[in-house]
């Protein structure tokens, strides 16, 4: 159970004052009857709440796939810079968080949800969920670079006992060249260390020119989503992500 005005506020319908006004004007009905009190309590699971003739359907968990653009930060709030949540226009963003972080200049797949259990499972180092990246490099990787990157490289992290914390085994596939002639590779890692891909490439004296995440576990970036576009996960995507 929760207060009607709070319930409406979570749908982004307006400020408390505006909501009060809407209620007063009869724009909100509960189970077919105009609501008259902002502080009345409703059962979000069973009561049917309509605002201006449109049903406000309560969903406990929400899951979105965003194609993160360059220049937006993967956080819920930031004083100055646009966050990924600001891109979810017309959505109830309350309680939503991005699943992990992409650097401000990294593009691609970002899952956004309010399902804390899923966030924990996908990010927990013990679950080793694969993350695949399309990486555009300053120059070609040699066979020995590929071997090193796949086996594990020293990216400057140190373990508690003072020894280098080598990256976990990864897989790397060579791709084509991009429009500017930079070589493209596809790197799959199962960790999520800070700037990991960039630091791995630096460890073999290379440099990332452009980075895009294209897969997380079983979830593939929908190629029809332009940067900044998003959509809900399908039931099949959600099911396989929960099983992965
Ligand atoms: N690795 C990076 O270096 N940056 C990202 O945004 C993601 C992985």
> Which ligand 1 atom minimizes the distance to the CA of 208?
3
**Cβ-based neighbour number of residue 176 at 10 Å:** 6
The whole-angstrom distance between residue 36's C-alpha and the CA centroid of its chain comes to 39
Residues 206, 190: Cα–Cα separation, whole Å: 21
Q: What amino acid positions are annotated as catalytic residues?
A: 103
Q: What is the pLDDT of residue 196?
A: 98
- Render pLDDT for 112-144 as a digit per residue (tens, 0 to 9): 999 999 999 999 888 899 999 999 999 999 999
- What residue owns the CA closest to ligand 1's atom 3? 195
What span, in angstroms and rounded, lies between the C-alpha atoms of 102 and 72?
9
- What is the whole-number distance in angstroms between the Cα of residue 69 and the centre of ligand 1? 14
- Give distance in angstroms: CA of 242 to centre of ligand 1: 23
Tokens of 200: 């791995």
196: CA distance to ligand 1 center in Å? 5
- Ligand 1 site residues (CB inside 6 A) read 102-103, 106, 195-198, 211
- Which letter does DSSP use for residue 85 in this model? G
Q: What percent of the chain has pLDDT over 90?
A: 83
Q: pTM of the prediction?
A: 0.87
**pLDDT tens-place string over residues 186-243:** 999 999 999 999 999 999 999 999 999 999 999 999 999 999 999 999 999 999 998 8
Residues linked to residue 184 through DSSP beta bridges, in sequence order: 136
């Amino acid at each position: 159970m929760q207060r009607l005005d709070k319930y409406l506020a979570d749908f982004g319908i307006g400020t408390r004052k505006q909501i009060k006004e809407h209620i007063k004007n009869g724009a909100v009905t509960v189970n077919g009857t105009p609501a008259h009190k902002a502080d009345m309590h409703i059962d979000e699971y069973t009561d049917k709440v309509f605002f201006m003739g449109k049903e406000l359907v309560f969903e406990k968990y929400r899951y979105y796939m965003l194609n993160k653009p360059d220049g937006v930060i993967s956080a819920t709030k930031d004083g100055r810079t646009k966050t990924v949540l600001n891109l979810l226009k017309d959505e109830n963003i309350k309680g939503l968080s991005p699943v992990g972080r992409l650097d401000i200049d990294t593009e691609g797949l970002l899952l956004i949800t309010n399902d804390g259990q899923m966030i924990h499972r996908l990010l927990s180092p013990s679950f080793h969920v694969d993350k695949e990246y399309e990486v555009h490099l300053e120059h070609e990787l040699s066979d020995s670079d590929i071997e090193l990157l796949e086996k594990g490289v020293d990216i400057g992290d140190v373990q508690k006992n003072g020894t280098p914390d080598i990256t976990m085994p990864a897989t790397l596939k060579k791709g084509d060249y991009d429009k500017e002639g930079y070589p493209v590779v596809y790197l799959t890692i199962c960790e999520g260390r800070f700037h990991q891909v960039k630091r791995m490439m630096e460890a073999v004296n290379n440099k990332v020119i452009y980075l895009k995440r294209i897969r997380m576990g079983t979830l593939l970036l929908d190629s029809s989503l332009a940067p900044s576009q998003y959509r809900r996960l399908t039931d099949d995507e959600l099911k396989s992500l929960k099983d992965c």
